[in-house]
Amino acid sequence: MAAISVHQFAHSITSHAWSPDKSMVALCPNNSEVHIYKLVEDKWEKAHVLQKHDQVISGIDWSRRSNRIVTASHDRNSYVWNLEGSEWVPTLVILRLNRAALCVQWSPEENKFAVGSGAKTVCICYYEQENNWWVSKLIRKRHDSSVTSVSWHPNNILLATTSTDGKCRVFSTFIKGVDAKDSKKATSSDFKFGELIVQLDLSSSWTFGVKWSPSGNTLAYVGHNSMIYFVDDVGPSPLAQNVVFRDLPLRDVLFVSEKMVIGVGFDCNPMVFAADERGIWSFIRYLGEQEVVSSGSSYGSQFSEAFGKLYGQSKHGASNDAVETSKPHENCINSIMPMSEQGTLIRRFSTSGLDGRIVLWDLENVPDLLELLVR
């Protein structure tokens, strides 16, 4: 099975992030604290508790190079935590928000981070050497509702956002004196800060979980209408396609390769999507599926499935043509994070959810998906 270990850390987890060497994990147990656990002799032990926020922490990200943690909270503040000796020391970042901060992510070069908020605003934060503090520039009056997720393009300048207004947008975050003009990035650096590159109106519902592919050529995000959207050639004339699935909506996605995406959400079981040789995306299967059990009549299977749904039974267990599944999560999965990366491939990743669990997954244990991953 793809799930290699399940760890119960709390009653509920809102977000989690891994240290650069993956020996520690930072998580929020649905309150105003960050708990950092360290792996000691195959057991997770609580090593630190970060206490500075006043309300629930909605986002955590741990930088790979500089070993800094950034947090965002419903208290409208963000903190950057630096490890000094054996203690994590916080630095307050003034976001100038009048609503909750909902998500946060470091840029690829780790000289900026983005915070999405319920104030219809995105904060781009960077370190000001002269004054020795973190400052923020705001992208305002572009969203019509809360910003639910942010994702940095590999070029460190373009930023994608999703919102409960049903739209996905891509902005330029070029800041003079922070971002160096590069001939390879000439197209991106020519845009002014906060300039809207493209607005995608593909969904009629809330949107979440936006991510760029490793090359930055494809953008993926999900809608609360049980659809996932893939966009190529992001710009004035993007090429978009969507995949509709019959099950519960997704909340987050992760590109494990240029042509494969793992989606997680309310079905408590990661979903695998892949593109074929023509670039057409489709749903492959659940990651927790074991084997297909055949078969009764088509009518009988549909009747059994409907009957099972009516009485709250699993749709997979009710159907005569059902697929046997195993779900390490027992509640909505709200976060998926990479663990091991080999070039542009991610073979291991983790998920956390409202059941308080963090589950580690390894695609090496799923031969058919591994074949798709490395093709």
Domain segments of the chain as ranges: 1-13+213-375, 52-165+167-200
Distance separating alpha carbons of residues 297 and 320, to the nearest angstrom: 8
Count of beta carbons in the 10 Å neighbourhood of residue 307: 12
Once rounded to an integer, what is the mean pLDDT over residues 290-301?
A: 42
What's the chain's average pLDDT? 88
Distance separating alpha carbons of residues 242 and 225, to the nearest angstrom: 11
84, 101 contact by CB (below 8 A): no
User: For residue 184, what pLDDT is reported?
Assistant: 46
User: For residue 1, what pLDDT is reported?
Assistant: 62
Task: Give yes or no on whether 1-13+213-375 and 52-165+167-200 have one common fold.
Answer: yes
CATH entry, 52-165+167-200, from 3.40.640.10, 2.130.10.10, 3.30.465.10, 2.40.160.20: 2.130.10.10
What CATH number is given for 1-13+213-375 in this structure? 2.130.10.10
pLDDT over threshold 70, residue 200:
yes
Once rounded to an integer, what is the mean pLDDT over residues 334-350?
A: 90
What's the pTM value of the predicted model, to 2 decimals? 0.88
**pLDDT band at 309, cuts 50/70/90?**
very low
Distance separating alpha carbons of residues 96 and 162, to the nearest angstrom: 20
- pLDDT tens profile 3-29: 889 999 999 999 999 999 999 999 999
**Chain centroid to CA 24: how far?**
19
pLDDT over threshold 90, residue 201:
yes
User: For residue 371, what pLDDT is reported?
Assistant: 81
- pLDDT tens profile 108-162: 999 999 999 999 999 999 998 888 889 999 999 899 999 999 999 999 999 999 9
Type of residue numbered 338: P
Once rounded to an integer, what is the mean pLDDT over residues 311-328?
A: 50
Distance separating alpha carbons of residues 113 and 136, to the nearest angstrom: 9
Between residues 354 and 288, the one the model is more confident about: 354
User: For residue 288, what pLDDT is reported?
Assistant: 79
**pLDDT band at 228, cuts 50/70/90?**
very high
Answer positive or negative: Cα dihedral of 7, 11, 13, 16.
negative
SS3 67: coil
Answer positive or negative: Cα dihedral of 23, 19, 362, 364.
negative
User: For residue 289, what pLDDT is reported?
Assistant: 67
Between residues 234 and 301, the one the model is more confident about: 234
User: For residue 149, what pLDDT is reported?
Assistant: 97
When mean pLDDT is compared across 5-14, 67-76, 170-179, 304-313, the lowest value belongs to: 304-313
Q: b/e string for 124-144 if b means 16 or more Cβ within 10 A? A: bbbbeeeeeebebbbbeebbe
